[in-house]
Amino acid sequence: MPLTDIADQRTPGRPISVTFAAETGLPSANQEVLLIGHKDAVSGTISAYAVTTISNSGDLTAGKAEAETKFGAGSELAKMVEAAILANSGASTLPQLKCIPLASADVGFGASDDALVTARKVKAEFIVSPYDGIDTSLRNKLKVHVALVSGAQRVENNQFGTIGVVANYDETDPSLLPKFDTQYVSGFWLRDTGTPAYSLGELAAACAAKMAGNTVPFNPQDSVTLVGVEAPVDSSDNITVGAGLESEACLGQGWTPLYVKPNTEVAFVRTVTGRMSPDGSGTPVVTSYYDVQDFMVLYFFRKTIWTRFSQSDFKQAKASDEKALLARSEAIRLASAFEDAGMFQKVQELSKLFQVERSTTDRHRFDVKIPVNVVPGLHVIAANIEATTQYDTITI
């Protein structure tokens, strides 16, 4: 292959071109949150079901003012924006917020699920529903939407994987929370039998924004405080935390429990998706890959692989044996970069299983297999403190 693509010429000269090499590094890991909530009935500059970006997603004062202008002062969606910004107060990474307003009278996502139809073209790692997570019908509509935009073909629309976020605070018994058994929805439970100072939409927005503010290597968020979320007025609503207690019952249903710290801050116990079995059938029960952060790593790697294979040296190329070797080596290299960043482990061992082969049905296509092992979050350290009488002997 020639070193340049400059055409031959007889006339003396020194033609020199400028080209750009393929981008081989990791893409941006910044997360985006899509908030769906009700606008005001008579005010607000944004029409129902139209998507808009909050320009001041990292500024509480300016962001609140922008949201009130767009959706109406005191509207549910404006308060959701405020809650999302407030949740990351003081954080170094701030997620971009996008919004789709519902009509003030909506009891769903619009007469024809208009908000979700609009959301199909929106890139967001988290999408927030304002409705109670125990409402099966509306939660399932959210799940179907998230599964759609997380599909293999959606990467061409800059969609690499999404998690739907819902909340509940009026179920008193965590063992009665519905099991929705899907990686596509994450439910958050904070028991509050009084009159909460926030809506379910605000609670879900705060949870989604806090998760989205978590970046590489996407560490667990155990005991991370949700700034701005107020503890229940009645302290008897505060859940018990520990094995065999209410937090365990909540996690056993596939929900994320929120608890109140001694200083009255509200925090995550452990952030999980609703995934409980490999295929949503309920059995067998999975023991790995159900934490939110596991999927954040996997979705970011999907984005990384797509970004690399979308570069000119793969897009304007022949499906040759040499190109297949390059694809395999690049997949291994990028997996190793994830290992260096603390997201993958055992890449060298797994690299033997990386495969690239020509499709048997389409000679223009490579099929690539990339097995990875996401480093699991450290959630439990079980220690045995043994009281002994060793070294009790006194010799004088």
pLDDT tens profile 347-372: 999 999 999 999 999 999 999 999 99
- The rounded mean pLDDT for the chain is 96
pLDDT at residue 130 greater than cutoff 70: yes
Q: What pLDDT is recorded for position 319?
A: 96
pLDDT at residue 1 greater than cutoff 80: no
The residues, ordered by sequence, that sit 6+ positions from 25 with a Cβ below 8 Å of its Cβ are: none
CA 67/CA 74 separation, integer angstroms: 10
Q: What pLDDT is recorded for position 285?
A: 95
For residue 16, the tally of other CB atoms under 10 A from its CB is 7
pLDDT tens profile 36-56: 999 999 999 999 999 999 999
Token pair, residue 319, equals 């499906």
In order, the DSSP letters of 343-371 are SB--HHHHHTT-EEEE-SS-TT-EEEE--
Mean pLDDT of 329-352: 98
pLDDT tens profile 303-316: 999 999 999 999 98
Q: What pLDDT is recorded for position 92?
A: 87
Mean pLDDT of 326-352: 98
Helix spans in 169-272 (H):
200-212, 246-252
The residues, ordered by sequence, that sit 6+ positions from 60 with a Cβ below 8 Å of its Cβ are: 82, 85, 86, 89
Amino acid letter, 98: K
The structure's pTM equals 0.95
Please name the helix (run of DSSP H) or strand (run of DSSP E) that holds residue 260, with its range, or none: strand 255-260
Q: What pLDDT is recorded for position 23?
A: 87
Query: CA 69 → CA 25, 72, 74, 198, distances in Å?
Result: 39, 6, 10, 20
pLDDT tens profile 180-236: 999 999 999 999 999 998 999 999 999 999 999 999 999 999 999 999 999 999 999
**Domain residue limits, the chain:** 32-293, 318-396
Backbone angles phi, psi at 148, to 5 degrees: -65, -50
Q: Give the model's confidence band at 20: pLDDT under 50 very low, under 70 low, under 90 confident, else very high.
A: confident
Mean pLDDT of 64-74: 98
CA 247/CA 270 separation, integer angstroms: 9
Compute, in degrees rounded to 10, the torsion defined by CA atoms 314, 319, 325, 330. Answer: 20
Length of the chain: 396
In this structure, is the dihedral angle defined by the CA atoms of residues 17, 18, 22 and 24, taken in order, positive or negative?
Answer: positive
